[in-house]
Amino acid sequence: MSVHRVWRLLLGLAGVILAFSHTIAAQEAVRLWLGEPDVSAFPSVWIPLHTADFQGAPVSDLSQLSLRENGIPLEFEVTAVPTGMDIIFVLDANADFAAANGSGQTRAQTTAASISQFAGQFMQEDGQDRVSILVPDAAGINGRFLLQNNTNPDIIAQTITAYQPEPAAEIPLQAMMALAIEQAARNNDGRFQAILLCSDNGQLHQQLDFAALTEQANAANLPIYVAILGERADETEIANASRLTEPTGGGYVHVPTADEAQAIFRAWQGQANQTFMVYESLQTHNGRYPITVNLGSVRANTEMTLNLAAPEVALKLTESEIIRTGAAHDTPLTELEPISSTVQALVSWPDGVPRPLTAVILFVGGLDGQTQIQADIQPDADGLLTLNWDMRQLREGGYQLVVQVADGYGYSAESEPAVVIIRTERPDPPTPTPPPLPTPETAVPPPTGFIAAERLWLGLGFTLLAGLIAAVLFWRRWRARQMSEGASEQVGDESDRQIIADPPLAHPQTRPPAYLDGDSIQLPLPGDNVTIGRDETAASTSLSAGVHLTLNDKSVARLHARIRWQNGRYWLYDEGSAGGTSLNFERLGLAPRPLQENDQIQIGRLRFYFRYGDIEEEE
């Protein structure tokens, strides 16, 4: 062996040893960095955890991990989520790119073969991984994308195999690297991202501003990897690669043939499953909280920004009127159907952080009304709350509904009020059937000799009976007028009302005392059948009139309304008046309605409340 060959062998061996020692010295430390905390499932916090060994592969032993939130150590879990890869290949297609290696392949062919191997062996076919390839433009001013965000392995392999470099006076490598970093920053969606610079590396120190590029890459948490093309990697090429990879957490590899690049591809594949540290936060107030993670002696920091806002709630009513019905005219209020109704409310979170609700209250009658607490309910996937509205104690009328919600951090919200009308329907009460008249028995014909005498006596009897009936009727009418003169009462003032007493109807049930309570007057109901109107003569000509209340108001009809005691209840009738008669703001039709304590009666423009009992005399 000649001295020159020995000398060349020793120089080559020294270069390999130097390169190896430089690599070990520069890259033996573990790199650790954290992504932005995800608080979308607060109080659970998810922190993206990134680690890399000296080859850029994720650290497998995480037993020495620890976490502190705002200085307090907390328990956590480590979980991995498949996220995919987002890789940008930057090709330094200079004049030497077409030069052959010792294997007989050009650097361009080696690069194309390695990228094809990555696409065929390391990319998933479900579209989770994507690739961009950046090459020089013909003008040598900027780079251009040969492929951009492509997820099809076959297309990637075909495109890079067919690529023919365009001759350029100078390769704009600084602009190409800056363009690749900007592309990665725009693409940042949770995938593992990296840049691989394929270059002979000999002139990088003259082409690149290392400080500017590494600062830009670190701002995007973007590791830079370098593939050193050519038959050998000298000290300058390794030093140039290290100035990009060491500050950004990447790695380099000498690629004389395509197979050597697989070391980097395997490291990327390990990073495609994003590791998260998941813990339950102790914070309950908005603010910025430091988070520190240690992996042995290596430390990384990030910050959680908590900006919670009160939830928003809005009623979603499907009907504005509910009719409650009964099977009989006297069905109790609590048994009318339906006894309850469903009310929906939409809950939303302006801060984008849904949280469990600790209280849900339905207010009936506004915030000062009746409360119906809804226990153990949460919104569904669409944010809808389904509430139960108990209506058993609710009479006819309009009810204002409000929903209030609260979460475990003291935030609460109320909906805008919405009004629902409740109406009741029962069958009309049965009309009293008059007792049947007695059917005369068939008389036995008397003897013929007595027919004339019998007819005479019958005629005299009918005459006396008719006279007696006429006398009784005359006496009753005279007595009624005498009583009316002594029992005159006023509505509003002494000229507004008058009571005309007729004999009350006889009923088997005892009628309780009752009266009408007006704004400044109280009117007793002294009989089983009380007519109400403006004209006294209209009531007195009514066949069924008992006692008449005269209301001297133009809005009251001559014969306007009637209150009767029958079947053990008071009933309100409208006598076909033009202005109508209303019970609890609902106008009566032809059918009567039963009266209950505190019912509101409107006759024309006069309003009264129906009360049981005797009128209390003022002291």
pLDDT tens profile 467-483: 777 676 666 665 545 44
Q: Which pLDDT belongs to residue 488?
A: 36
pLDDT tens profile 336-379: 999 999 999 999 999 888 888 999 999 998 777 788 888 889 99
Between 546 and 134, name the one with better pLDDT.
134
pLDDT tens profile 412-431: 999 999 999 999 999 988 76
Mean residue pLDDT of the chain comes to: 83
**Confidence class of residue 619 from pLDDT cuts 50, 70 and 90?**
very low
Q: Which pLDDT belongs to residue 570?
A: 93
Name the pairing type of β-strands 287-295 and 65-69.
antiparallel
CA–CA separation, 441 vs 383, rounded Å?
81
pLDDT at 487 over 50: no
Name the pairing type of β-strands 273-280 and 529-533.
unpaired
Q: What is the mean pLDDT of residues 432-452?
A: 56
Q: Which pLDDT belongs to residue 385?
A: 94
Q: Which pLDDT belongs to residue 432?
A: 63
Query: Which residues, in sequence order, are CB contacts of 511 under 8 Å at separation 6+?
Result: 528, 565
Between 55 and 336, name the one with better pLDDT.
336
CA–CA separation, 532 vs 558, rounded Å?
8
pLDDT at 443 over 80: no
Q: What is the mean pLDDT of residues 114-124?
A: 94
What are the φ and ψ backbone dihedral angles of 517, each rounded to 5 degrees?
-105, 110
pLDDT at 228 over 90: yes
Q: 360-382 b/e with 16+ CB inside 10 Å = b?
A: bbbbbbeeeeeebebeeeebeee
The residues pairing with 362 across neighbouring beta strands, listed in sequence order, are 372, 403
Q: Which of 328-332, 461-465, 545-549 has the lowest mean pLDDT?
A: 461-465
Q: Which pLDDT belongs to residue 454?
A: 58
Q: Which of 12-16, 36-40, 117-121 has the lowest mean pLDDT?
A: 12-16
Alpha-helical (H) ranges within 435-571 are: 451-486, 536-540
Highest mean pLDDT among 99-103, 116-120, 442-446, 547-551: 116-120
Q: What is the mean pLDDT of residues 519-546?
A: 74
Q: What domains are there in the chain, each with its CATH number?
A: 30-81+273-307 (2.60.40.1220), 84-271 (3.40.50.410), 312-425 (2.60.40.10), 484-612 (2.60.200.20)
pLDDT at 24 over 50: no
Q: Which pLDDT belongs to residue 563?
A: 94
The DSSP code sequence of 358-388 is EEEEEEESSTTSEEEEE-S----TTSEEEEE
pLDDT at 445 over 60: no
pLDDT at 126 over 90: no
Q: What is the mean pLDDT of residues 77-89?
A: 93
pLDDT at 25 over 50: no
Q: Which pLDDT belongs to residue 435?
A: 63
Q: Which pLDDT belongs to residue 189?
A: 85
User: Among 596, 608, 605, 619, which Cα is nearest to 521's?
Assistant: 608
Name the pairing type of β-strands 586-587 and 384-390.
unpaired
Between 509 and 312, name the one with better pLDDT.
312
Q: Which pLDDT belongs to residue 547?
A: 83
Highest mean pLDDT among 11-20, 121-130, 207-216, 491-500: 207-216
pLDDT tens profile 142-200: 899 999 999 999 999 999 999 998 877 789 999 999 999 999 999 988 899 999 999 98
Q: Which pLDDT belongs to residue 123?
A: 94
Dihedral of CA 580/586/589/592: which sign? negative
Q: What is the mean pLDDT of residues 478-491?
A: 43
Check if the beta carbon of residue 185 is closer than 8 Å to that of residue 195: no
Burial of residue 2 (number of CB atoms within 10 Å: 0-12, 13-18, 19+):
exposed
Q: Which pLDDT belongs to residue 464?
A: 76
pLDDT tens profile 236-277: 999 999 999 999 988 899 999 999 999 999 989 888 888 999
